[in-house]
Amino acid sequence: VQLQASGGGLVQAGGSLRLSCVASGLTLGSYVMAWFRQAPGKEREFVGYINHSGGSTYYSASVKGRFTISKDNAKNTGYLHMNSLKPEDTAVYYCATRGLSLASARAMASGGNYPYWGQGTLVTVSS
């Protein structure tokens, strides 16, 4: 299984960016995809996830209303659409997958519950 994240870059505050995560070795339609991020000197932070069908999403409070997660199961690709970006959104963004949704949102927000990870893509938001 491989996850290939891309789309990061430098953007001004208030701008938008779309990250992609292409999955190989699995059928994304049977997997949950989550996004996490890690800012310099900080712990990894949960961003949000989308369920296997793409019909349900959940976001952290810090990005809710600004970020949207989607997936195209036919292309085996997930997306993180980021709007109204802030300097504090600067981080390396990672996609991750797991096979089944867990009962609690807290469990779904724990990176330890995701066996497959992409390599990360850097997003830098300038003020």
Smallest Cα–Cα separation from 105: which of 45, 70, 37, 58? 58
pLDDT digits (tens, 9 = 90+) for 75-95: 999 999 999 999 999 999 999
Question: Would you state the structure tokens that stand for residue 120, as one six-digit string?
Answer: 């990360």
Residue 100 has pLDDT above 90, yes or no: no
> What are the pLDDT digits (tens) for 43-72?
999 999 999 999 999 999 999 999 999 999
Give the separation between CA 76 and CA 59, rounded to whole angstroms.
21
